Amino acid sequence: MRLSVHGLSFRYGSTDAISGIELEAKEGDIIGILGPNGSGKTTLLKCLNRSLTPRAGTVMIDDVDSQTLTRKELATRMGTVPQSANINFPFTALDIVMMGRLPELRRFESESRKDMDIVMEAMAMTNTVQFADRPMDQLSGGERQRVIIARALAQKPKVLLLDEPTLHLDVNHQLEIMDLIAALANMERLIVIIVTHDLALAARYCTKVLLMQNGSIQAAGEVTDVMTMENLRKVFLIEASVYFDERIGAYSVSILRSTRSDGPGDRQ
| Domain ranges within the chain, ordered by starting residue | 1-77+157-221, 87-154
For 99-121, what is the mean pLDDT?
82
Q: How does residue 88 score in pLDDT terms, banded at 50, 70 and 90?
A: low
What whole-number distance in Å separates Cα of residue 136 and Cα of residue 92? 6
Q: What percent of the chain has pLDDT over 90?
A: 81
- Closest-CA residue to 102 (of 90, 89, 111): 111
Q: Does 95 have pLDDT greater than 90?
A: yes
- Rounded to the nearest integer, the mean pLDDT of the chain is 91
What whole-number distance in Å separates Cα of residue 140 and Cα of residue 168? 11
Q: How does residue 232 score in pLDDT terms, banded at 50, 70 and 90?
A: very high
pTM: 0.90
What whole-number distance in Å separates Cα of residue 26 and Cα of residue 143? 29
What whole-number distance in Å separates Cα of residue 200 and Cα of residue 204? 6
CA 248 to chain centroid, in Å, comes to: 22
Three-class DSSP category at 50: coil
pLDDT at residue number 266? 46
Q: How does residue 108 score in pLDDT terms, banded at 50, 70 and 90?
A: low
CATH class of 1-77+157-221: alpha beta
Lowest mean pLDDT among 48-52, 91-95, 166-170, 201-205: 166-170
**Is residue 131 classed exposed, middle or buried when 0-12, 13-18 and 19+ CB atoms within 10 A define those classes?**
buried
Q: How does residue 263 score in pLDDT terms, banded at 50, 70 and 90?
A: low
